Structure 1
């Protein structure tokens, strides 16, 4: 089952490596991984997509919380959420094919961000299926290069988070979580 975790972490060197290593050691393949800054200084947001069975989901979440720099872990898969991906696609474009390519761009609500004599760079944001659909349609013209961000996700509504660590910087080793639950690390 494809599962999407949103993990808030301290913005420190080595955190990405520790998270990826934890997943690798458990024998899971990362389908998609994106990392970026959040609205909170010093906190980064990771969106991790894994193909795991139901039993592994809780284990992965618990193991992520064991990592020192992890602040919050949310499995957004079962909740109403918005998932998006971004792609930039460089496609071969002759004078004869530009019109047809531009029509495809309009149909998929994408946009052209660069024009050169022999190619166009198209930017598209949407679901993975939408992007895959555009890429498939552009193959007939010649996809020269493509870069995709991977999935980003956000739960809908104001109260979307599950649990968050409140001990960042504590010396006692106890991890207090919202909801009066605590784990020892």
Structure 2
């Protein structure tokens, strides 16, 4: 009878496995706490580093109004840059369009016409003699007028006032000489009479 009572008193001590497992889970918690402490330390170091980097910044850097002004200046610079890029693209397109006008003519003829126009420009006061000489040789053609017009168009786009004035006069003079050479004898006589009349006045 005594042995049975002793056995019953000792039986509750057998299930020890759940208790040990519970102890293991409790033992793991301090590791997670140490990780949190490490993260906090690294974050604090990062903040300290940022504060050190900002130490050399001017006082205006912390002024919201100053920062807003800087943002507006940046936007204005971007607008100006875009406007300049658009203007440059437009000019390139215009130059390309002007160059295309001469594509229908033989390359050798274009070179000769450009050379002739350059000689007119360099002649200055002797340009009248150069034009008449070229007309007698049959060198004044529609292509020569086109080359002068292209130069005049470029000068207008670049707003070169002196070049515009000179090229405009040159174009009119060459055009007049071409028309005079292509005119009928009656038209030539009429032109001579008009010139004489202007001279008498």
Question: What band does the TM-score fall into relative to the shorter chain?
Answer: under 0.3
Higher RCO structure, 1 or 2 (CA under 8 Å, sep 6+)? 1
TM-score, normalisation: structure 2: 0.18
Using structure 1 for the length normalisation, give the TM-score: 0.20
Larger radius of gyration: 2
When you count helix as a share of all residues, which structure comes out higher?
A: 2
Say which structure is richer in strand. 1
